[in-house]
Amino acid sequence: GDGAGPSSAGGGGGGDIEDLGGGRGGELCSYYEALEAQGSDAALPAAVYTLEELKELGRGKGWCPYFLARHVISFANVVVYNYQYLLDPKISQLVSRSMQRECVVVFDEAHNIDNICIEVMSINFRMPTLEAASANLSRVQREISRLKESDAARLNDEYQRLVHGLANSGALNASDEFAANPLLPQDILLQAVPGNLRRADSFVLFLKRLVAHLKKRLQTEEVVQETPLAFLSQLLHEEDIEPKPLKFVAERLRSLLRTLQVTDVSDFNPLLLVGDFATLLATYRQGFCIIIEPYDERSPALPDPLFQFCCNDASIAMKPVFERFQSVVITSGTLSPIDMYPKILGFEPRAVHSFAMSFSRDIILPLVVTRGADQAPLSSKFDLRSEPTTVRNYGKLLLDIAATVPDGVVAFFTSYSYMQQVVREWHALGILKRVLEHKLV
């Protein structure tokens, strides 16, 4: 199913499996440890399992249901999940890396797949995220100082590994919490990490300069739009940070957190987000743009700057999927125009088929309604849509359609917030109750 993204199996909810010990370094989940002890023998009988059934099975066998589901992906005949588990590089390397080249990948309801591709490769953050990243860096500095006193050899070992490149540093074979990374070219993984990033102290100072620059860029009073190349040029001029080291930041940061044996990884998400941004910024010069907005357009009087690293090229996220799997099927009932999708996703289709739909009667009747039953203007324009007469007339229109149309009805709203507002008012006016006499809602 479309479960939530990868996370810890333990939780605070009453129905969740939770068994956490106390004290630093002593937090072990007995369910996870029991599953690990089973190894490859932890298999499930052939069946289709819901999330609740997996949880019940986990309780019965003493296994973590989340990691059990991840484990049996390797043996399953069919795996159903949402696009992000395959398209988002920060998730796919955790969940989908065991899938073989011979797997057949089917993207169903793929009419919006380009939006998903752009979303998973874009990064947004505000000032609170950068403040949290600064706090993360302060904690990392304290952890480094502690480790120097207790086990300096571990830091030195990491340094020596980084000399031989990320592919040999253990960064690509690490525990699941750190395995996610942005899309990196293979040649980068084989290069030695730049000298100014190898020493832990130097790397932290490097990140502090980067975070400080991002904070400074957020302090703007007008909308800024620029290319990654322009941003990198200003970063080099003001902070003396060259583009090449930025490519290694995401993996170098994960390597450092691993060396420090950090257990509460989620606390470092703000800093990891900055690291992912740095790597993507230096890796992709084309297909991205940077937009900095000083405030939310809904409340322009309140400063709330937003930094957006926007992906404009859906093919960047799709390219690894096409390279990794030999059979990829993209299908949808509304995949139109069908010849547009190969262009925006960057692939040459081996076969293209479009199937005509036939109905026993005419099912589409376009109507443009400009006035309500009381002849008041009917419009979803911002200055009219919240008027009581507009809400009432839209409700009366929906009621008349529900009473007349023999099949299902779909009502579209200009936004979720407007829909919630209108539904509340329709409920108060008794319109929904009358609609229920004709259609299920």
pLDDT at 173: 42
What is the mean predicted confidence (pLDDT) over 254-281?
89
Beta bridge partners of 106: 329
Q: What is the mean pLDDT of residues 54-78?
A: 86
Give mean pLDDT, residues 53-57.
88
Residue 166: what pLDDT? Answer: 53
Torsion on CA atoms 225, 228, 229, 235, rounded to nearest 10 = 90
Say yes or no to pLDDT of 75 above 90.
no
Q: In percent, how much of the chain has pLDDT > 70?
A: 86
What value does the mean pLDDT take over residues 312-337? 91
What residues contact residue 25 under an 8 Å CB cut-off, 6+ apart? 261, 263
pLDDT band at 152 (very low <50, low <70, confident <90, very high): confident
Average pLDDT over residues 150-175: 61
Task: Provide the pLDDT for residue 119.
Answer: 92
To which H or E segment does residue 167 belong?
none
- Alpha-carbon span 322 to 325, nearest angstrom: 6
Tens of pLDDT, residues 2-15: 333 333 333 333 33
Beta pairing, strands 327-330 & 104-107: parallel
What pLDDT is recorded for position 6?
A: 35
Say what the pLDDT of residue 186 is. Answer: 53
Distance CA 108, CA 83 (A): 9
The pair phi, psi for residue 75, each rounded to 5°, is -110, -10
Instruction: Give the per-residue pLDDT at 3.
Output: 39
Of the candidates 313, 278, 296, 128, the one whose C-alpha atom is nearest the C-alpha of residue 223 is: 296
110-119: pLDDT as tens digits: 988 999 999 9
- Which two structure tokens, joined as six digits, stand for 131? 């403040």
The string of pLDDT tens digits covering residues 404-418 is: 988 888 888 888 888
